[in-house]
Structure 1
Amino acid sequence: MMNDDVRRFIESIPADRRPLFERLRALIQNAYPDASLKLSYGVPTFKSKGGWVALGYWKGGVSIHTNGRHNIEEFNAAYPRIKTGTGTINLRVTDVVPEEALLAVIRRAMTGGGNWGWCGIVNVLARFGKRPGVRVRGEKPPGR
Protein backbone atom coordinates (compact mmCIF):
# COMPACT_ATOMS: atom_id res chain seq x y z
CA MET A 1 0.00 0.00 0.00
CA MET A 2 1.29 3.43 -0.92
CA ASN A 3 1.49 6.17 1.70
CA ASP A 4 0.45 9.79 1.07
CA ASP A 5 4.03 11.09 0.75
CA VAL A 6 4.80 8.62 -2.03
CA ARG A 7 1.48 9.34 -3.73
CA ARG A 8 2.21 13.10 -3.70
CA PHE A 9 5.70 12.49 -5.09
CA ILE A 10 4.31 10.42 -7.98
CA GLU A 11 1.63 13.01 -8.70
CA SER A 12 4.37 15.67 -8.94
CA ILE A 13 6.23 13.82 -11.70
CA PRO A 14 5.90 15.65 -15.04
CA ALA A 15 3.71 13.86 -17.58
CA ASP A 16 6.59 13.11 -19.97
CA ARG A 17 8.49 11.16 -17.29
CA ARG A 18 5.64 9.48 -15.46
CA PRO A 19 5.22 6.48 -17.82
CA LEU A 20 8.91 5.56 -17.42
CA PHE A 21 8.69 6.03 -13.65
CA GLU A 22 5.57 3.84 -13.45
CA ARG A 23 7.19 1.18 -15.63
CA LEU A 24 10.21 0.99 -13.31
CA ARG A 25 8.02 1.06 -10.20
CA ALA A 26 6.00 -1.87 -11.57
CA LEU A 27 9.21 -3.75 -12.36
CA ILE A 28 10.36 -3.41 -8.74
CA GLN A 29 6.95 -4.13 -7.21
CA ASN A 30 6.44 -7.24 -9.34
CA ALA A 31 9.85 -8.58 -8.34
CA TYR A 32 9.47 -7.60 -4.65
CA PRO A 33 5.76 -7.39 -3.78
CA ASP A 34 6.51 -7.52 -0.03
CA ALA A 35 9.02 -4.65 -0.09
CA SER A 36 8.03 -1.58 1.89
CA LEU A 37 7.65 1.65 -0.07
CA LYS A 38 8.32 4.92 1.74
CA LEU A 39 9.82 8.29 0.96
CA SER A 40 13.47 8.31 2.03
CA TYR A 41 15.77 11.25 1.31
CA GLY A 42 12.92 12.75 -0.68
CA VAL A 43 12.41 9.87 -3.14
CA PRO A 44 10.28 6.69 -3.13
CA THR A 45 12.41 3.89 -1.72
CA PHE A 46 11.66 0.17 -1.79
CA LYS A 47 13.18 -1.66 1.16
CA SER A 48 13.57 -5.37 1.77
CA LYS A 49 15.44 -7.22 4.50
CA GLY A 50 18.50 -7.36 2.29
CA GLY A 51 18.70 -3.90 0.76
CA TRP A 52 16.92 -1.09 -1.04
CA VAL A 53 16.25 0.59 -4.39
CA ALA A 54 14.96 4.14 -4.87
CA LEU A 55 13.40 5.91 -7.85
CA GLY A 56 13.68 9.58 -8.64
CA TYR A 57 13.25 11.83 -11.63
CA TRP A 58 15.27 14.60 -13.23
CA LYS A 59 14.96 16.97 -16.18
CA GLY A 60 15.53 14.32 -18.84
CA GLY A 61 14.26 11.12 -17.28
CA VAL A 62 14.11 8.80 -14.29
CA SER A 63 16.86 7.48 -12.01
CA ILE A 64 17.25 4.18 -10.20
CA HIS A 65 19.35 4.61 -7.06
CA THR A 66 21.15 1.81 -5.21
CA ASN A 67 23.69 1.97 -2.42
CA GLY A 68 26.82 1.57 -4.49
CA ARG A 69 28.60 1.32 -7.80
CA HIS A 70 29.07 -2.42 -7.27
CA ASN A 71 25.34 -2.91 -7.94
CA ILE A 72 25.53 -1.42 -11.43
CA GLU A 73 28.99 -2.43 -12.69
CA GLU A 74 27.69 -5.17 -15.01
CA PHE A 75 24.89 -2.93 -16.26
CA ASN A 76 27.34 -0.12 -16.94
CA ALA A 77 29.61 -2.45 -18.92
CA ALA A 78 26.70 -3.79 -21.00
CA TYR A 79 25.03 -0.40 -21.58
CA PRO A 80 27.78 2.24 -21.66
CA ARG A 81 25.58 4.78 -23.46
CA ILE A 82 23.15 4.94 -20.54
CA LYS A 83 24.43 7.47 -18.04
CA THR A 84 25.33 6.14 -14.61
CA GLY A 85 26.70 7.55 -11.39
CA THR A 86 27.79 6.07 -8.10
CA GLY A 87 25.15 3.38 -7.72
CA THR A 88 22.69 5.25 -9.93
CA ILE A 89 21.32 4.60 -13.40
CA ASN A 90 19.91 7.68 -15.16
CA LEU A 91 17.46 6.61 -17.83
CA ARG A 92 16.36 9.18 -20.39
CA VAL A 93 12.78 9.10 -21.54
CA THR A 94 14.11 8.26 -25.02
CA ASP A 95 16.33 5.33 -23.88
CA VAL A 96 15.39 1.78 -24.75
CA VAL A 97 14.85 0.30 -21.29
CA PRO A 98 16.70 -3.02 -20.84
CA GLU A 99 14.28 -4.51 -18.30
CA GLU A 100 16.14 -7.79 -17.72
CA ALA A 101 19.40 -5.97 -17.02
CA LEU A 102 17.62 -3.52 -14.73
CA LEU A 103 15.96 -6.41 -12.93
CA ALA A 104 19.40 -7.91 -12.29
CA VAL A 105 20.51 -4.58 -10.76
CA ILE A 106 17.36 -4.43 -8.65
CA ARG A 107 17.83 -8.01 -7.43
CA ARG A 108 21.43 -7.37 -6.49
CA ALA A 109 20.55 -4.24 -4.54
CA MET A 110 17.48 -5.74 -2.84
CA THR A 111 18.98 -9.07 -1.80
CA GLY A 112 22.14 -7.96 -0.11
CA GLY A 113 24.45 -7.91 -3.10
CA GLY A 114 24.33 -4.20 -2.41
CA ASN A 115 25.06 -4.51 1.29
CA TRP A 116 28.73 -4.00 1.85
CA GLY A 117 29.10 -5.51 5.30
CA TRP A 118 32.56 -6.14 6.72
CA CYS A 119 33.50 -8.81 4.14
CA GLY A 120 32.52 -6.53 1.26
CA ILE A 121 34.59 -3.68 2.64
CA VAL A 122 37.62 -5.95 3.12
CA ASN A 123 37.29 -7.20 -0.48
CA VAL A 124 37.10 -3.66 -1.87
CA LEU A 125 40.08 -2.56 0.20
CA ALA A 126 42.02 -5.59 -1.02
CA ARG A 127 41.36 -4.55 -4.62
CA PHE A 128 43.16 -1.30 -3.93
CA GLY A 129 46.00 -2.85 -1.96
CA LYS A 130 44.77 -1.68 1.44
CA ARG A 131 44.24 -3.64 4.61
CA PRO A 132 41.58 -2.67 7.17
CA GLY A 133 43.02 -0.37 9.79
CA VAL A 134 46.06 0.55 7.69
CA ARG A 135 46.14 4.04 6.23
CA VAL A 136 47.89 5.03 3.06
CA ARG A 137 50.35 7.91 3.44
CA GLY A 138 48.48 11.20 3.37
CA GLU A 139 45.10 9.54 3.91
CA LYS A 140 42.96 11.06 6.65
CA PRO A 141 41.88 8.83 9.53
CA PRO A 142 38.26 7.58 9.34
CA GLY A 143 35.71 10.08 10.55
CA ARG A 144 37.78 13.18 9.80
Structure 2
Amino acid sequence: MMKTVDRYIADLPEERKQRFMLLHQMIMSEYPDLIVDMHYKMPTYRLGEGWVALANQKNYISLYTCSATHIDAFKTKYPQIKTGKGCINFKDKDPLPLDDLVSVVHHAISEAKGH
Protein backbone atom coordinates (compact mmCIF):
# COMPACT_ATOMS: atom_id res chain seq x y z
CA MET A 1 0.00 0.00 0.00
CA MET A 2 1.36 3.41 -0.96
CA LYS A 3 1.87 6.02 1.73
CA THR A 4 0.04 9.30 1.55
CA VAL A 5 1.93 12.58 1.69
CA ASP A 6 0.57 13.25 5.20
CA ARG A 7 1.69 9.81 6.39
CA TYR A 8 5.12 10.31 4.79
CA ILE A 9 5.59 13.56 6.69
CA ALA A 10 4.23 12.12 9.94
CA ASP A 11 6.71 9.24 9.70
CA LEU A 12 9.75 11.50 9.32
CA PRO A 13 12.30 11.47 12.15
CA GLU A 14 11.56 14.34 14.54
CA GLU A 15 14.95 15.97 13.91
CA ARG A 16 14.11 16.25 10.18
CA LYS A 17 10.41 17.00 10.28
CA GLN A 18 10.67 20.76 10.86
CA ARG A 19 13.11 21.33 7.96
CA PHE A 20 11.05 19.11 5.67
CA MET A 21 7.90 21.06 6.60
CA LEU A 22 9.63 24.38 5.85
CA LEU A 23 10.35 23.15 2.33
CA HIS A 24 6.87 21.65 1.92
CA GLN A 25 5.18 24.87 3.08
CA MET A 26 7.41 27.03 0.87
CA ILE A 27 6.43 25.02 -2.19
CA MET A 28 2.73 25.02 -1.28
CA SER A 29 2.65 28.76 -0.56
CA GLU A 30 4.20 29.55 -3.96
CA TYR A 31 1.87 27.23 -5.87
CA PRO A 32 -1.35 26.55 -3.95
CA ASP A 33 -2.88 24.86 -7.03
CA LEU A 34 -0.22 22.16 -7.28
CA ILE A 35 -1.20 18.53 -7.45
CA VAL A 36 0.56 16.88 -4.51
CA ASP A 37 0.87 13.12 -4.53
CA MET A 38 3.30 10.30 -3.90
CA HIS A 39 5.38 9.68 -7.00
CA TYR A 40 8.39 7.38 -6.78
CA LYS A 41 7.51 6.93 -3.08
CA MET A 42 8.14 10.60 -2.25
CA PRO A 43 5.96 13.73 -2.03
CA THR A 44 5.79 15.22 -5.52
CA TYR A 45 4.42 18.64 -6.40
CA ARG A 46 3.18 18.99 -9.99
CA LEU A 47 1.69 21.71 -12.14
CA GLY A 48 1.34 20.91 -15.83
CA GLU A 49 4.65 19.49 -17.04
CA GLY A 50 6.63 21.02 -14.17
CA TRP A 51 7.37 19.28 -10.92
CA VAL A 52 9.57 19.11 -7.86
CA ALA A 53 9.76 16.42 -5.19
CA LEU A 54 11.04 16.12 -1.64
CA ALA A 55 12.56 13.05 -0.04
CA ASN A 56 14.00 12.17 3.31
CA GLN A 57 17.24 10.26 2.76
CA LYS A 58 19.49 8.63 5.34
CA ASN A 59 21.72 11.70 5.84
CA TYR A 60 19.84 14.56 4.19
CA ILE A 61 16.66 15.93 2.64
CA SER A 62 16.61 16.08 -1.15
CA LEU A 63 14.80 18.56 -3.37
CA TYR A 64 14.44 16.98 -6.81
CA THR A 65 13.78 18.90 -10.01
CA CYS A 66 13.41 17.54 -13.51
CA SER A 67 16.63 19.05 -14.93
CA ALA A 68 20.08 20.22 -13.89
CA THR A 69 19.33 23.63 -15.44
CA HIS A 70 16.84 24.30 -12.64
CA ILE A 71 19.56 24.24 -9.99
CA ASP A 72 22.48 25.84 -11.86
CA ALA A 73 22.18 29.27 -10.22
CA PHE A 74 21.74 27.67 -6.79
CA LYS A 75 24.85 25.51 -7.26
CA THR A 76 26.90 28.57 -8.17
CA LYS A 77 25.70 30.54 -5.14
CA TYR A 78 25.96 27.62 -2.65
CA PRO A 79 28.87 25.42 -3.73
CA GLN A 80 29.14 23.99 -0.20
CA ILE A 81 25.71 22.32 -0.47
CA LYS A 82 25.83 18.94 -2.19
CA THR A 83 23.91 18.62 -5.43
CA GLY A 84 23.27 15.93 -8.00
CA LYS A 85 22.24 16.21 -11.64
CA GLY A 86 18.91 17.82 -10.85
CA CYS A 87 18.68 17.68 -7.07
CA ILE A 88 19.89 19.51 -3.99
CA ASN A 89 20.79 17.50 -0.88
CA PHE A 90 20.48 19.34 2.43
CA LYS A 91 22.40 17.81 5.29
CA ASP A 92 20.99 18.61 8.73
CA LYS A 93 23.58 21.37 9.30
CA ASP A 94 23.25 22.97 5.85
CA PRO A 95 21.33 26.24 5.60
CA LEU A 96 17.91 26.27 3.94
CA PRO A 97 18.07 29.47 1.88
CA LEU A 98 14.32 29.58 1.21
CA ASP A 99 14.40 32.71 -0.97
CA ASP A 100 16.83 31.07 -3.36
CA LEU A 101 14.93 27.80 -3.21
CA VAL A 102 11.77 29.62 -4.30
CA SER A 103 13.68 30.50 -7.47
CA VAL A 104 14.63 26.85 -7.99
CA VAL A 105 11.00 25.77 -7.57
CA HIS A 106 9.74 28.51 -9.90
CA HIS A 107 12.25 27.48 -12.54
CA ALA A 108 11.35 23.78 -12.25
CA ILE A 109 7.60 24.42 -12.39
CA SER A 110 7.52 27.13 -15.05
CA GLU A 111 10.30 25.84 -17.30
CA ALA A 112 9.59 22.11 -17.31
CA LYS A 113 12.16 19.79 -18.86
CA GLY A 114 14.83 22.49 -18.83
CA HIS A 115 13.39 24.49 -21.75
Same fold (TM over 0.5): yes
Identity level (%): 34
In structure 2, list runs of 5 or more residues that go unmatched.
none
1:54 aligns with 2:53: yes
Structure possessing the higher relative contact order (Cα contacts under 8 Å, 6 or more residues apart): 2
1:46 counterpart SS class: strand
Radius of gyration: which is bigger?
A: 1
Give the whole-Å Cα distance in 1 for the aligned partners of 2:93 and 2:4. Answer: 28
2:48 counterpart SS class: coil
Q: TM-score, normalised by structure 2?
A: 0.92
Give the whole-Å Cα distance in 1 for the aligned partners of 2:100 and 2:4. Answer: 29
Give 2:112's match in structure 1, choosing from 106, 111, 114. Answer: 114
Give the whole-Å Cα distance in 1 for the aligned partners of 2:73 and 2:93. Answer: 22
Give the whole-Å Cα distance in 2 for the aligned partners of 1:114 and 1:96. Answer: 26
Q: TM-score, normalised by structure 1?
A: 0.74
User: How many angstroms does 1:32 deviate by?
Assistant: 0.3
User: How many angstroms does 1:62 deviate by?
Assistant: 1.0
Question: Which has the higher mean CA deviation after the structures are superposed, 48-57 or 76-85?
Answer: 48-57
Q: Structure 2: which amino acid aligns with 1:91?
A: F
User: How many angstroms does 1:94 deviate by?
Assistant: 1.2
The ranges of structure 1 where at least 4 consecutive aligned residues each deviate by more than 4 angstroms after the TM superposition are none
Query: What is the RMSD of the two structures over their aligned residues, measured on CA atoms?
Result: 1.2
Give the whole-Å Cα distance in 1 for the aligned partners of 2:76 and 2:88. Answer: 12
More strand by percentage: 2
Give the whole-Å Cα distance in 1 for the aligned partners of 2:103 and 2:96. Answer: 13
Equivalent residue, structure 1, for 2:68: 69
Q: Structure 1: which amino acid aligns with 2:112?
A: G
Equivalent residue, structure 1, for 2:91: 92
Q: Deviations over 1:87-120 (max 9, x none)?
A: 1000112111111111100000011x2324xxx4
